Structure 1
Amino acid sequence: ARAVLPHGTTGAFIDPHEIANVLGLEGVRLMAQEATTTPMQIYVQVPSCVPSAPGLETAGASIGPNEVAEAMTWPGVIGLGEVMNYPGVAAGDETLHAEIAETLKAGKVVGGHYASPDLGPLFHAYAAAGPSDDHEGTRQEDTIARVRQGMYAMLRQGSAWHDVAAQLPAITEQGVDPRHVLLCTDDRHPGTLLSDGHMDDVVRLAIREGIAPLTAIQMATLNTAEHFGVADDLGCIAPGRYADILVLSDLERFTIDVVFAAGEVVAQGGELVVDIALYPYPKEARGSVRLARALKSSDFAVTAPVKEGVLRARVMEVIENQVVNRAVLTELPVKKGRVCPDLAHDVAFVSVVERHRGSGRISHGFVRGFGLKARCALASTVAHDSHNLLIMGTDHEAMAKAGNCVAEMGGGVCLVKNDKVEASIPLPIAGLMSEEPVETVAEQAEGLNRALMACGCSLNNAFMTFS
């Protein structure tokens, strides 16, 4: 709230599936309680995919239809969070459909997450099952398809996901009705908030891309309120609504001078003018990194069926500024019976260490696209969506050191280069959140970005792509 109120964001619809995958329904309850302590109108969606990938990853908790039904009775709960398991929905997964049914029975909104370019029968089945919005589009045809299926297309602009400009031609060139399109943010980091802003930045982008200023504002306000069923309370300036009002000195540039939240001046000239107390998270929300033991370099060895030579391996290749990646086949060197990274072709190790139950389980793979050249490793408990301990590196010793550093902090991010911790961000709340001011976290994140660049990485917001 401290970071976004000066930028004119007076309300938000949140899906706290990150903390839910660590702490379960109690984590959602904590977020809902914290929301009531701010000047903002914050509505909560109950996470639908906890765990996010059943059978593929181990989460720290589980939320099913009974928990969803309970949470639908809580004040401030607006619906079901993004249904990420779209293949499961299309295949008739009973648990997912029961969660959707409980939400619809409560008269609330089902959020979507269709992260696939396939707009054929799979997409049609997903849309028919109940999700009424989606923010995973990256092309104008994605926006068109969602609106044609009766959904709201959410165009997102995050720190790493830049999907607004590519989809707006659906409106400006193809004639899609903007009343069925929303502007939103997704994974917007502290540094981006301080340098570029929040929803004000997204509105400015839409205006630059040819959307009329009032239409762009509507896509960020009234459309959103109507979609989530709260237009009687907010979304426009009218009797009976919360007096959430922005005073602008320049409509085209969307320059915000004064921010009112519920009738009170909360920000002026880009500065917060009210005090917002820090929410006291309990000890149960801390100490969530549970490893079987300290990590060793040998934990990350990938054995090969040959002693020397090369192996053909499937590698994840990242796509800059997009949430999707691609699978590629490439040859990797084998030395002394172990598969090695191939820095000349930008291939590094990546491992997932289970951190919720101390099982000691570790999965290994390879990733291309980060440009790492040094003997280094990056470790993080911000690892969508089950948020285990994710470690990427060019050296096993560095990977172990970075992972142990994160565990010792109780969660967070750590970069190791040449046996030295070059940057770290402690995230003690569920291994996901900091209690420090946004300026402090932004400074820590910028230090991490600089350290990553020194290791050879030139990706925009490489950490978000990694996580």
Structure 2
Amino acid sequence: MRVDLFIQNVNIYNSYFKRFIPGNAAVLDGRFLYIGPRGADSFEADQIVDGQGRYMVPGLVDIHLHIESTMVTPDTFSYGLIKNGVTTIVPEPHEMANVFGLPGVTEMIRASKHCVADMIYAIPSSVPATSLETSGGSIEIEDMDRLMQTERIACLGEIMNYVDVINAPDCKTNQILRHIRSQYPDLIIEGHVPKLLDLDLQRVIYAGIDSDHTHQSIEGMEARIAAGMFIEIQEKSMTEEVMNYLIKHDVSEHFCFVTDDVMPDSFQRRGHLNHIVRKAIGMGMSPEKAIYAATFTPARRMKLSDRGAIAPGKIADFILVSDAKELTIGQVFKNGKKVFDAGKEYKPEGYRHAFPAHFYQSVQLPLLTEADFAIRADAKDGMYHSRVMLVKNGSTFTEEHHGEVEVRDGEVRWEDSPYGLIATFERYGKSGARAHGLIGGDTIRRGAVATTYSHDNHNLLVVGHSPEDMMLAANEVIRSQGGFCVVEDGKVLAMLRLPVGGILTEEPLEEAAAAVQRLREAMESLGYNHYNPIMSISTHSLPVSPALKITDFGLIDVNRGQVVPLLVGSES
């Protein structure tokens, strides 16, 4: 019998028994035809690969991530995925959707269609994330209908505004949920439900949201699994307690591994989903169980029944690895064709100007002055209690702290306080709104950082201790049509230009990774004490992530879903 490819002498991962079984595999027309003991003499193969006793693993499947978090375009992202053994992803482009609305989604899909890795998209469900911010675009129900009719869609992306789901029956999010459940009852609905328990958690599940990828605790994870939720474990949830629970309990069908957000330097240095699998194995999980959680269960969660396993009829996406514990990748095959070989040079194709011209002109904001970093206050002269956004290492969550500041001549004298200034400026030319707050904790101690890479609205966000440095950093970003700039004492320490929508670069992954590493080091040199300072500062404007955040509407009490004033005390 004729086949295109025959792989012999390999240990083949069987997803149904969760173990490796020695054997051979035949591929025809991009799919597995045969798995078993028969040798090459049973087939007329165009190509024979000697596995040399290595391990044959299904292509890894990542069902929750955002390409924009890596700040690169889909083709560059695919290049990074393939060399790390990731052959299928379900990206949710809500960052580009917040900048451009529906065209942001359709252009990301279009830019993905020539990529080697399969990218089956999630519809952004929360654009904007809340009604308490100004974004460049929105995704409405009619946009979702259009995407369902014209594109291959895996799921409705993470529902983030869980506060409104619980408390506002007629809110936009609940209208979306009702529409999806009535019109597309088989469509998977993904969730973002940090810390919810008991009745609130089950009300979210009742609304149709049956997965969670946020930071897990044992209590929260048990409650979710008990209520029928599927858990997507990202790296920040891989604590010793959580991993021991996953190892010791029979919950393999109820969780998978995902990456969510991967910085370019981490992508380049450590890898992608394969890094998560290696880490799980290093924490005591068997390779067989870790592989299952990065192949079979994520594929099944997204109803991708044609992949995630090495079996007859499945798409022939697989990796040959020399060490199952280290997941040392030798070759990667996509649709039965070799697309990566560790022993050969691997170059990205690279596509410049892959997006429409207006995607490169999205920052509609005039240059700022030092006066833009003054906080006006309608209060008498005196000392006041003030809300302070407290940054904490170990999480992108912040805390609300109360400190003392002086008001004099109608201004908050923040420069005389122990705190820095955080400010955000609407950058789409819509309202010109802006907001100011105070910031402390594990953030910078001097200088300034400015960026349009600020989740999810991607307005201009500036943090600093000097109006002069803040102005310089902000204006560098504005002139570059988006990016990330770190400044100290009037000198630019690091700069990453992100001209595509103010959030993506078209530079190769290696160059983007080097630039992000410089950003990270520059921020740390200013005193930023955080495991991921870039993601930390980028989520200061995310009003669905606890506890105190900022948008162009003002300071946001996330748990209450309300704008709150900076000054909370009385004159002393």
When residues 46 and 312 of structure 1 are mapped into structure 2, their CA distance, relative to the original with a 3 A threshold, is: same
Q: Which amino acid aligns with 2:536?
A: T
The answer to whether the aligner puts 1:172 opposite 2:247 as a matched pair is: yes
CA distance in 2, matches of 1:383, 1:13: 22
CA distance in 1, matches of 2:471, 2:151: 44
Q: 1:362 maps to which residue? A: 434
Q: Which amino acid aligns with 1:364?
A: H
SS state at 2:531 partner = coil
Kindly report the root-mean-square deviation, in angstroms, between the aligned alpha carbons of the 2 structures: 2.0
CA distance in 2, matches of 1:21, 1:305: 33
Give deviations 1:176-204, integer Å, cap 9, x for gaps.
Answer: 51211010002211100111111111001
Alignment check: 8 A CA contact 1:332 1:342 kept: no
CA distance in 1, matches of 2:279, 2:412: 45
Q: 1:422 maps to which residue? A: 493
The answer to whether the aligner puts 1:147 opposite 2:220 as a matched pair is: no
The answer to whether the aligner puts 1:27 opposite 2:139 as a matched pair is: no
Q: Which amino acid aligns with 1:193?
A: F
Q: Which residues of 2 match residues 337-416 of structure 1 at below 5 A?
A: 337-341=410-414, 345=418, 347-374=419-446, 376-416=447-487
Q: 1:76 aligns with which of 141, 152, 175?
A: 152
Q: 2:130 maps to which residue? A: 53
CA distance in 2, matches of 1:407, 1:414: 10
CA distance in 2, matches of 1:417, 1:358: 31
Alignment check: 8 A CA contact 1:314 1:366 kept: yes
Alignment check: 8 A CA contact 1:143 1:170 kept: no
SS state at 2:339 partner = strand
The answer to whether the aligner puts 1:269 opposite 2:342 as a matched pair is: yes
Q: 1:220 maps to which residue? A: 294
Q: 2:234 maps to which residue? A: 156
Work out which structure has the larger RCO, using CA pairs closer than 8 Å and 6 or more positions apart in sequence.
Answer: 2
Alignment check: 8 A CA contact 2:393 2:442 kept: no
Structure 1 position 95, deviation (Å): 2.6
Alignment check: 8 A CA contact 1:39 1:262 kept: no
Give deviations 1:332-379, integer Å, cap 9, x for gaps.
Answer: 34566533447985x2110110011253211111122234333x1111
Q: 1:183 maps to which residue? A: 257
SS state at 2:128 partner = coil
Please report the TM-score for the alignment, with normalisation by the length of structure 1.
Answer: 0.93
Alignment check: 8 A CA contact 2:460 2:474 kept: yes
The worse-fitting range, judged by mean Cα deviation, of 302-311 and 70-79 is 302-311
CA distance in 2, matches of 1:337, 1:101: 48
Q: 1:41 maps to which residue? A: 118
Alignment check: 8 A CA contact 2:211 2:232 kept: yes
SS state at 1:251 partner = coil
When residues 371 and 100 of structure 1 are mapped into structure 2, their CA distance, relative to the original with a 3 A threshold, is: closer
CA distance in 2, matches of 1:12, 1:284: 27
Q: 1:15 maps to which residue? A: 92
Alignment check: 8 A CA contact 1:110 1:132 kept: yes
Q: Which amino acid aligns with 1:47?
A: P
Alignment length (residue pairs): 456
Higher relative strand content: 2
Q: 1:108 maps to which residue? A: 187
Question: Highest CA radius of gyration, 1 or 2?
Answer: 2
The answer to whether the aligner puts 1:439 opposite 2:510 as a matched pair is: yes
Q: 1:86 aligns with which of 138, 162, 185?
A: 162
CA distance in 1, matches of 2:371, 2:380: 17
CA distance in 2, matches of 1:19, 1:310: 42
Identical aligned residues as a percent: 31
CA distance in 1, matches of 2:336, 2:532: 37
Unmatched segments (≥5 aa) in structure 1: none
Unmatched segments (≥5 aa) in structure 2: 1-77, 539-572
Give deviations 1:59-78, integer Å, cap 9, x for gaps.
Answer: 11121111111111233211
CA distance in 1, matches of 2:256, 2:416: 41
Q: 2:142 aligns with which of 61, 66, 71?
A: 66
Alignment check: 8 A CA contact 2:405 2:412 kept: yes
Alignment check: 8 A CA contact 2:198 2:223 kept: no
Give deviations 1:101-134, integer Å, cap 9, x for gaps.
Answer: 443432211110112x231211111111111211
Q: 1:3 maps to which residue? A: 80
CA distance in 1, matches of 2:109, 2:179: 19
CA distance in 1, matches of 2:165, 2:389: 25
Q: Which amino acid aligns with 1:356?
A: Y
Alignment check: 8 A CA contact 2:92 2:122 kept: yes
SS state at 2:268 partner = helix
Give deviations 1:249-269, integer Å, cap 9, x for gaps.
Answer: 111122111111121211122
Structure 1 position 325, deviation (Å): 1.7
CA distance in 1, matches of 2:422, 2:250: 41
Alignment check: 8 A CA contact 1:221 1:236 kept: yes
CA distance in 1, matches of 2:397, 2:299: 29
Q: 1:197 aligns with which of 241, 261, 271?
A: 271
CA distance in 2, matches of 1:372, 1:110: 38
CA distance in 1, matches of 2:270, 2:232: 20
Please report the TM-score for the alignment, with normalisation by the length of structure 2.
Answer: 0.76
Q: 2:68 maps to which residue? A: none
The answer to whether the aligner puts 1:120 opposite 2:198 as a matched pair is: yes
Q: Which residues of 2 match residues 167-316 of structure 1 at below 5 A?
A: 167-173=242-248, 175-231=249-305, 233-269=306-342, 273=346, 276-278=349-351, 280-291=354-365, 293-304=366-377, 310-316=383-389
Alignment check: 8 A CA contact 1:137 1:143 kept: no
Alignment check: 8 A CA contact 2:420 2:445 kept: no
